[in-house]
Amino acid sequence: MKSLIYLDWKRGLKMFVASATLSLSMVSTGSGEALAISTPQKIENTIETLQKSDQRWIQINLANQRLTAWEGGKPVYAIVISSGKRSTPTRIGSFKIQSKHKSTRMRGRNYDVPNVPYAMFYSGNYGIHGAYWHKKFGTPVSNGCVNLAPNHAKWLFNWASLGTPVVIQK
């Protein structure tokens, strides 16, 4: 009896390990390919949905370093930005404004900047904010955030509310 239970358990374990290995390899291969194919498609679907609504939303195009504020399908404000440099890229995807701060201190590995104006965070420490310390808008120079001239950041801060969708694409 003891050996039958052991053999059944061992056979079950082998099947579980084989199944888990197969599942993991399919998930890892499939998800890598699916992400490469589906992320731009998901972003496009999100944009189409937002353009058919009357909702306020923010679109950030990293390829041309532009931010557009939309009300449904109508662009209401467009500006030049500075996104993350190659070593600290801005994340792509669909997000929502999670918190807003008229002024905040931002700290990271190689920076400590006080009084960052009009910061709106959409994913952890990633945010859209004013940048008074550079004038290189149109060029990726940030540590992953989306930098705006302070006057533009103020306009966007006053226009957007918590929960406003933010769509970032390449």
Q: Is 3 contained in some domain?
A: no
Q: Is 105 contained in some domain?
A: yes
Which CATH number do you get for residue 157? 2.40.440.10
Q: Is 64 contained in some domain?
A: yes
Q: Is 33 contained in some domain?
A: no
Q: What rounded mean pLDDT belongs to the chain?
A: 84
Q: Is 25 contained in some domain?
A: no
Q: How many domains does the chain have?
A: 1
Q: Is 51 contained in some domain?
A: yes
Which residues does the annotation mark as catalytic?
129, 145
The predicted-structure confidence for 102-130, as pLDDT tens digits, reads as follows 999 999 888 999 999 999 999 999 999 99
What does the H/E/C string look like for the chain? CHHHHHHHHHHHHHHHHHHHHHHHHHHHHHHHHHHHHHHHHHHHHHHHHHHCCCCEEEEEECCCCEEEEEECCEEEEEEECECECCCCCCCCEEEECCEEEEEEEEEECCEEEEEEEEEEEEECCEEEEECCCCCCCCCCCECCCEEECHHHHHHHHHHCCCCCEEEEEC
The predicted-structure confidence for 73-84, as pLDDT tens digits, reads as follows 999 999 999 999
The predicted-structure confidence for 58-100, as pLDDT tens digits, reads as follows 999 999 999 999 999 999 999 999 999 999 999 999 999 999 9
Q: What is the pTM of this model?
A: 0.77
Q: Is 1 contained in some domain?
A: no
Asked if pLDDT for residue 162 goes beyond 80, the answer is yes
Give me the domain span that covers residue 144. Answer: 40-168
